Structure formats: C-alpha cells, structure tokens
Amino acid sequence: MLELIDSADDVIALKMSGKITGANLDAVMNRLDHVMAKHDKVHVFAETQSIEGIEISGLPSYMARALPLFGKLGRFGRVAVVADQSWVRAGTRLESALLPNISYRVYMPEERAEALAWVTGASG
C-alpha cells in the first residue's frame, strides 16, 4: 500500500507497507516528475512498514522511468528513510554508499518526526 504524505512542495513524502505494486511505483514516479518539474533540488522522505516484497510485473516500467534519473542525481538533496525492517535500513545504507553525493539518513520508526524535520530542512 502507498500513502502520499502532505509535505513541503520540494519534498516527496510517502509511506509504503505490504506488497509494493507497479501502480505504487508509477504513483511515486509521477510525483517525482511533478516535483522535479518545479524545483531544482528534490528531497525524499520514505517511511516503510512491514514490506512484503515487490510485484515483479511492475519493475520493467519502473526501471524504464528510473534509469534516466542517474543523469539527474545532482538534483537530489536530503533523503530520509524510516524503516521498521533491518533489511530496508541496510539496503538504504548500501544505496547511500553507492550514491555519495546524496545526503542519506536512516531512522527507526520512533524517530519519524526527526526524519521528517531533517528532510524538510526544519532541523540541522
């Protein structure tokens, strides 16, 4: 399930749980396209809860839209990931190491408010 969270105009804020579907991924990419059209720098707040997996049939379409973003990595600012599963936090840390020019922070669920404040620039 995907829930888009109201946030600052230059922030993509979302909560995902259960199985991630192709429709979920399309909605995230649509929101990203919208925010990138309006702002030079985009920040991301992603909260995950009990992720069960990703619908394989949705991946080809997602990858076709996501791969061109590698040419726009400089447009990503702060990325906060709040996750209740250790494998999601570990994967985020790996992604952070592979993309060192993007500022990543990983949070536990009880640190959600801190994560949102950081990604929106309300805290240091």
CATH number of the CATH domain containing 57: 3.30.750
The predicted pLDDT at position 72 comes to 93
124: confidence class by pLDDT, cuts 50, 70, 90 = low
> What's residue 123's pLDDT?
72
Closest by Cα among 3, 67, 72 to 42? 72
Confidence check: pLDDT of 57 > 80: yes
Tens digit of each residue's pLDDT (9 = 90 or more) over 60-78: 999 999 999 999 999 999 9
CA distance 42 to 23: 22
**Structural domain span for residue 46:** 2-120
Specify whether the CB–CB gap between 17 and 9 falls below 8 A: no
pLDDT at 11: 96
> What is the C-alpha to C-alpha distance for residues 108 and 92, in angstroms, rounded to an integer?
12
- Mean pLDDT of the region 20-37: 94
Record the pTM.
0.92
pLDDT-based confidence at 100, cuts 50/70/90? confident
Total domains in the chain come to 1
pLDDT in tens, 40-50: 999 999 999 99
